[in-house]
A and B are shown apart, each in its own frame.
Chain A
Amino acid sequence: MSDPIVTVQNVYHRYDQQTVLENINFNIEEGAFVGLVGPNGSGKTTLIKLMLGIEKLQRGNITAFGQPIQKFKNKGRISYVSQKANSFSRGFPATVKEVVSMGVIHNQRRFLPDQKKDQGLVKSALQKVNMEEYINRNIGDLSGGQQQRVFIARAIANNPKLLILDEPTVGVDSQNVEQFYDLLSKLNQELGITLVLVSHDIGAITTYVTDLLCLNRSIHYHGNPNEFESLTDEQRSILYGHQINTITHNH
Chain B
Amino acid sequence: MLDAFFQYELLRNTFYTGLLVGLIAPLLGAFIVVRRQSMIADGLSHVTLAGLAFGLFMQKKYTLLMFAPFHTGILFSIIGALIIENLRDVYKAFQEIAIPIILSVGVGLSIVFIALADGINTDIYTYLFGSIAAISSSDLRLIIFISLLVIIFIFVCYKDLFALSFDSEFAIVSGVKSKTLNFVFILMTALVISASIRIVGVLLVSALMTLPVATGMRIAKSFKQTIFYSIIYGEIAVIVGLITGYYFEIPPGGTIVITSALLLGLTLLFNKLKAVRSLKKDDGYAA
Contacts and interface: CB of A to CB of B under 8 A. Distances in A.
Interface of A: 49, 52-54, 74-76, 78-82, 84-85, 88-89, 92-95, 97-99, 101-103, 105-106, 110-111, 136, 138, 154-155
Given A79-B173, A105-B174, A98 B224 contact: yes
Contact of B166 (A49, A102, A136): A102
B109 to A, nearest CB: 34
B221 A82 contact: no
Given A102-B162, A111-B156, 6 more contacts: A76-B174, A85-B170, A89-B166, A95-B222, A101-B159, A105-B159
Given A74-B175, A105-B176, A111-B156, A80 B162 contact: no
Contact of B169 (A84, A97, A99, A138): A84
Nearest to A76: B174
Given A74-B173, A80-B173, A99 B220 contact: no
Nearest to A82: B169
Contacts of B170: 80-82, 85, 102, 154-155
Nearest to B169: A82
Given A82-B167, A102-B166, A93 B160 contact: no
A179 to B, nearest CB: 23
A92 B174 contact: no
A165 B89 CA distance: 27
A136 B162 CA distance: 17
B107 to A, nearest CB: 31
Main secondary structure on B side of the interface with A: helix
Interface of B: 34, 156-157, 159-160, 162-163, 166-167, 169-176, 217, 220-226
Contacts of B175: 74-75, 105-106
B272 to A, nearest CB: 18
8 contacts: A54-B172, A54-B173, A76-B174, A92-B223, A98-B162, A102-B163, A102-B166, A105-B175
A93 B226 CA distance: 7
A31 to B, nearest CB: 21
Contacts of B166: 88-89, 92, 94, 99, 102
Nearest to A137: B221
Contacts of A82: 167, 169-170
A49 B163 CA distance: 18
Name the 10 nearest CB pairs between A and B, nearest first: A102-B163, A95-B222, A82-B169, A93-B226, A94-B223, A80-B173, A93-B217, A106-B175, A105-B159, A88-B167
A108 to B, nearest CB: 11
B223 A93 contact: yes
A93 B169 contact: no
Contacts of A155: 170
A98 to B, nearest CB: 5
Nearest to B157: A111
A76 B162 CA distance: 18
